[in-house]
Amino acid sequence: MNGILCVNKPEGFTSFDVIAKLRGILKIRRLGHGGTLDPMATGVLPVFVGTATKACDMLDSRKVYVADFRFGMTSDTQDITGNILTKSDKKVSLKELKAVIPEFIGNIMQIPPMYSAVQVNGKRLYDLARQGIEVERKPREIEVKHIKLYKYNEETQEGTIEICCGKGTYIRTIIHDIGEKLGCGGVMTALERIQSGGFALCDCYTLDEIQRAKDENRLEKIIIPTKYIFSGLPEIRLNEVQTRMYKNGVRLDLNRINRIDPNASEYSVYGFDGGFIGLGSADRESGCLRVLKNFI
């Protein structure tokens, strides 16, 4: 049982809760996930099963979220689940909001929230926050590809945005920072991840659906093969002898590999029987194909 199982994470579960639940369903220990989600968040959580766990750090880091927000308050968690710290009567217009959004697009600096898994001096920030301790955090560079404003109600000061971003981005912090910029404060009220690592909500299954698939002996139909992650790479097909050598870590002569793309540096490697083996790297100086990572 190897591959990617895309889970539609339910609200109230941590990413680790999902892994624990799946260990009980799948009866397998070797599981990992691609990108932590807060308990209040829902949506796409790719889970790596078996040998696919070797690819946990190889997914496309870009993610897309849809978030609801409310202006006029701040909280210690930067979302609606936390303790409310401040309230403001200031009303933000749609024009004002549209004017500041571009300032949060691109490569920007972000201070991680206290309620986060970031470590400072070996301690998780959320552990310190729960003790009432706040420490200085260094700003980190993040990438925000786009922010789309879906809707905004000037009367209720509530709205919905879509954010496409890179690794390490806190959506609630973006909302908090936009609220600070507007002088009114802001909190995130809901969050759904609609894309992650090339997977979308349409690829996902609920935990109940996964349990039913297990009960009906059709898990293999919903687990995505590991090779899917690397579908953008050129493919190499080895003969029987080369397959045996490559699986044993032997470097292969590039000139002896049929139909190899001479302009590529990395490849998806398949055996003589069509089975996916892993990733290979071309060493042009030595003229050899090296094993980059195998998934067998």
Of 142, 117, 119, the residue nearest 33 (C-alpha): 117
Residue type, position 249, single letter: G
Residue 25 host element (H or E): helix 15-26
Of 227, 258, 260, 259, the residue nearest 240 (C-alpha): 258
Lookup: tokens for 242: 């080369």
Give the 3-state secondary structure percentages of the chain, helix then strand then coil, rounded to 5: 25, 35, 40
Three-class DSSP category at 161: strand
- Which stretches within 50-206 are classed as H helix? 94-100, 125-130, 171-182
- For 164, what's the count of Cα atoms within 13 Å in the CB-facing half-sphere? 10
Q: How many Å apart are CA 1 and CA 155, to the nearest integer?
A: 52
17, 38, 215, 283: the catalytic one is 38
Residue 110 host element (H or E): strand 106-110
DSSP category for residue 79: B
38 flagged as catalytic? yes
Q: Write a three-state SS string for 166-213.
A: CCCCCHHHHHHHHHHHHCCCEEEEEEEEEEECCEEHHHCECHHHHHHH
Question: Which residues belong to the active site?
Answer: 38
